[in-house]
Chain A
Amino acid sequence: MNVRAAAGPAAAADDRNVAAFVARLREQPCCAAVVAEPFLDLALASASPIIVILRGDGLALREPIDRIHAAGKLAAVHLDLVDGLEADIHGVSWLARCGADAIVSSRGSLMPAIRREGRLAIHRVLLSRRSHLDSAMKAAARAAPDVLEVLPGILLPSITQLLPRLGIPVLAGGFIRSPDDVRAVMAAGAAGVTTSQADLWGGPG
């Protein structure tokens, strides 16, 4: 199943975004997940092609996003986790106006709104137990995101056989702390990883 095939004509422009995103990951698969402002400088100086802002003031993101772009990187923002923003279509619009290239949310219902804003829609799926896995994946398929982020990503090699193939790039995030971890999840099918482990932002080596 390819969830993007159901996304309609607007998918063509989105597909270019996805292609650019995946191309960046091919260069270097480790996205820098920034959980506090001091780490942004470290991420900017790293080889990571994509910076994911997980925390901070959602109402003051234009400046950090401009700095990310100035460093030649893509900026993704987790709408559910930053302060000051509601995880709804207005929050999506705000982040789009701030220049975010990609918006991450656990709310599948926001994926169409994110795409309408011309941003890459990353659906974060939290895996807690097997009986939730099926419903989470069905919800992800309905949401038709551009990219799926699976947490805890470290489990990807153990649960690959339980996951349906959605035909979209998968990011693995959570407890990925070593080059071996990166290689293992990539071997299990991930297109890239998101990690707050700064020593991986230069790649798995």
Chain B
Amino acid sequence: MTPAPSWRLPRVLVVDDGEPHGPIDGLPTGTFLRDLDLTALVSRASAIDGPWGVDVDSIRGLHPDEAAARFVVQRLGAAVVVSRRTTVARAAAAIGAVGLLAVHAFDSTGLRRIAVSGSAPGGIGSLLSPGLVLPHLRRDELAVLPRPLVGHGLITRPADARACLELADAIVVRRDAARFLGLALRGGSHPTGQPLTTIPIEE
């Protein structure tokens, strides 16, 4: 068993579609695995170069529990583990990965309920879907979302990706969007105003 290294969160996670994705200028990138079966997950995980994350709830054949968290982190080497279950995200965080609680933001009422429930205790962050909603959230709404905060879903245009990167610690995008983001960054200014390093995760 390989001990989990002290992971850092890439700023852009590119959804794996079986094809390698290129680096995005200046931005630390990783790969995001979702909607696979367990065998395919093991196969893809061994082929990926660089940090990667996984939505364990979407892996067919894998029951999202603490054993699953240990499996993807310690056996497969996942750097980031996403789940709707706090216990899973927390278990991943406890063994050195970035644990993210998957939360949905469809309207302000639902977001308020997330805040009130306090469903993400310390030590884990949040993966917000759809990520494209991030620029539309008020500051107080952003503040209740546990950090690190990752935007995921419907981020398809470079301008949207930039806007989301300014508010979140990382974003998840598809490979085509990542390519356009890279092209945009090559011809444009720095997207975030922050140092181009990975975001350190608070212990």
Contacts and interface: CB of A to CB of B under 8 A. Distances in A.
B184 interface: no
A175 B108 contact: yes
Contact of B107 (A130, A131, A133, A152): A152
Interface residues of B, number: 20
A189 to B, nearest CB: 17
B108 A177 contact: yes
A154 interface: yes
A168 B133 CA distance: 25
Interface in B128-157: 129-130, 132-133, 136-137, 152-154, 156-157
Name the prevailing secondary structure of the A interface residues.
Answer: mixed
A130 B137 contact: no
A174 B35 CA distance: 27
A177 B107 CA distance: 10
A151 B130 CA distance: 10
Name the prevailing secondary structure of the B interface residues.
Answer: loop
A151 B111 CA distance: 13
A15 to B, nearest CB: 29
Interface in B90-141: 104-109, 129-130, 132-133, 136-137
Nearest to B108: A175
Interface of B: 35, 104-109, 129-130, 132-133, 136-137, 152-154, 156-157, 160, 174
Interface of A: 33, 35, 54, 126-131, 133, 151-152, 154-155, 158-159, 162, 173-175, 177, 196
Given A128-B130, A133-B154, A155-B130, 11 more contacts: A33-B109, A126-B106, A127-B106, A127-B153, A128-B106, A129-B152, A154-B133, A155-B136, A158-B132, A175-B105, A175-B136
